[in-house]
């Protein structure tokens, strides 16, 4: 498959890159690993006139620790996250999520963490060849006026955010650094997502994701990521869940749960915190209740945007939520925060 024509820009520093972004705006796309963008260009889903390569910007590809923050550059390759020992030691949920992205020989040596977070939303009716899409009307996401994923049609796009890294990083209260020629913004990762299927990110055309900042959650905190997919590699999630649980004096003091792959943006399940905090640590039923809350919240969003039936995905929300919470809790209680040897 041939790529359409474009001009290749190779900025030598961040300032030059931001200047190019300002100049070309909606006409350009940032090329990091290319494992998502180039596929969409081949399928004719996006036709940027300019690609801005991050190849010559090593400053975006470093991992640093400072002030209790793990600062991951947006262009850090997934393979570099997996071999960074402190993440393996202290952020098992993040490690699990990055492991689950794509397959080692596809994404891990080219794909970047920023690219995973900034990938476009997906839908089984949209992410297809021109030929496939040509058999139907143009959908909302492609500039038309209908949605095939929503029964009876819809005036909004019901594509889903398929990032595996986002749910667990949002559960970990990660922040992102966004920069343009106008200045720098620091915002919660959750606010990077607009909840609009046609344009899933809140980034302006001249803005660029620079860094992701993950707080070092400290002892007594556990994180976990659970993903249901039909294949163990090169597959998008049917449902995924990221969780963080914090335990103090044998009581849960914080529980964050974020469900992935069911809605336009990663879905934070707000009721779970209350449920888990109110009950003793050993209470098994509490996880069932949390799973039910997640299922009911996600139920309103689930559309026919992946191959699996809606009802099945809804039930799996509950299962994935429980798995992620249970593992995060176990890790919080074990205190060691380390991942069990696989």
Partner 1 sequence: MNRLPLEITINGEPHSPAVEPNRTLLELLRDDLHLTGAKEGCGEGVCGSCTVLMDGNPVRSCLTLALEADGSHITTVEGLAQGSELDPLQQSFIDHGAVQCGFCTSGMLMTAKGLLLRDPHAGTGEIKRALSGHICRCTGYTKITEAVEAEVTRSKKER
Q: Which residues contact partner 1 (rule: CB under 8 A)? A: 1-8, 10, 31, 34-35, 38-39, 42-43, 51, 53, 55, 79, 102-106, 109-110, 232-234, 342
Q: 55 vs 181, which CB is nearer to partner 1?
A: 55
Helices (H) and strands (E) in the chain, counts: 11, 12
Six token digits for residue 2: 């041939």
Closest contact distance (angstroms) between CB of 3 and partner 1 is: 4
Q: 128 vs 194, which CB is nearer to partner 1?
A: 128
C-alpha atoms less than 13 angstroms from C-alpha of 229 in its C-beta half-sphere: 21
Distant-in-sequence, close-in-space partners of 40: CB < 8 Å, separation ≥ 6: 46, 120, 127
Closest contact distance (angstroms) between CB of 142 and partner 1 is: 18
The helix (run of H) or strand (run of E) holding residue 29 is strand 28-31
Q: 8 vs 131, which CB is nearer to partner 1?
A: 8
Question: CA-CA distances (angstroms) from residue 156 to 23, 126, 247, 273, 289?
Answer: 30, 14, 40, 30, 31
Q: Which residues pair with 71 in a beta bridge?
A: 64, 213
Closest contact distance (angstroms) between CB of 160 and partner 1 is: 19
Question: CA-CA distances (angstroms) from residue 117 to 135, 174, 248, 254, 258?
Answer: 31, 12, 31, 24, 14
* In contact, 320 and 239? CB cutoff 8 Å: yes
Q: 27 vs 288, which CB is nearer to partner 1?
A: 27
Closest contact distance (angstroms) between CB of 218 and partner 1 is: 31
Report the candidate in 166, 184, 175 with the shortest Cα–Cα distance to residue 14: 184
Closest contact distance (angstroms) between CB of 128 and partner 1 is: 11
Six token digits for residue 141: 């996401």
Q: 79 vs 196, which CB is nearer to partner 1?
A: 79
Six token digits for residue 188: 């919660």
Closest contact distance (angstroms) between CB of 106 and partner 1 is: 5
Q: 33 vs 266, which CB is nearer to partner 1?
A: 33
Six token digits for residue 1: 């498959």
């Amino acid at each position: 498959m041939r790529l359409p024509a474009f001009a290749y820009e190779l900025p030598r520093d961040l300032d030059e890159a931001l200047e190019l972004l300002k100049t070309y705006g909606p006409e350009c796309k940032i090329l990091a690993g290319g494992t998502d963008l180039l596929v969409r260009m081949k399928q004719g889903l996006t036709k940027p006139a300019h690609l801005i390569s991050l190849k010559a910007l090593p400053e975006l590809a470093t991992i640093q620790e400072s002030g209790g923050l793990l600062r991951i550059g947006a262009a850090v390759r997934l393979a570099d996250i997996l071999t960074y020992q402190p993440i393996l030691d202290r952020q098992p949920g993040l490690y699990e999520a990055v492991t689950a992205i794509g397959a080692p020989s596809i994404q891990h040596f080219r794909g970047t963490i920023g690219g995973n977070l900034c990938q476009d939303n997906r839908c089984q009716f949209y992410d297809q060849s021109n030929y496939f899409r040509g058999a139907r009307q143009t959908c909302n996401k492609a500039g038309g006026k209908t949605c095939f994923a929503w029964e009876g049609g819809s005036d909004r796009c019901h594509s889903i955010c398929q990032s595996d890294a986002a749910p667990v990083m949002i559960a970990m209260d990660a922040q992102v650094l966004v920069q343009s020629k106008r200045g720098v913004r620091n915002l919660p990762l959750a606010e990077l997502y607009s909840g609009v299927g046609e344009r899933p990110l809140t980034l302006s055309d001249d803005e660029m994701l620079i860094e992701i900042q993950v707080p070092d959650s400290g002892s007594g905190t556990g994180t976990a990521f659970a993903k249901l997919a039909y294949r163990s590699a090169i597959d998008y999630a049917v449902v995924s869940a990221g969780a963080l649980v914090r335990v103090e004096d044998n009581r849960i003091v914080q529980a964050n749960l974020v469900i992935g792959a069911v809605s336009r943006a990663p879905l934070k399940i707000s009721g779970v915190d209350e449920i888990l905090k109110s009950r003793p640590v050993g209470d098994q039923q509490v996880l069932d209740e949390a799973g039910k809350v997640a299922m009911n919240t996600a139920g309103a969003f689930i559309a026919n945007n992946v191959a699996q039936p809606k009802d099945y995905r809804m039930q799996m929300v509950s299962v994935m939520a429980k798995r992620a919470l249970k593992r995060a809790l176990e890790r919080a209680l074990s205190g060691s925060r380390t991942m069990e040897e696989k």
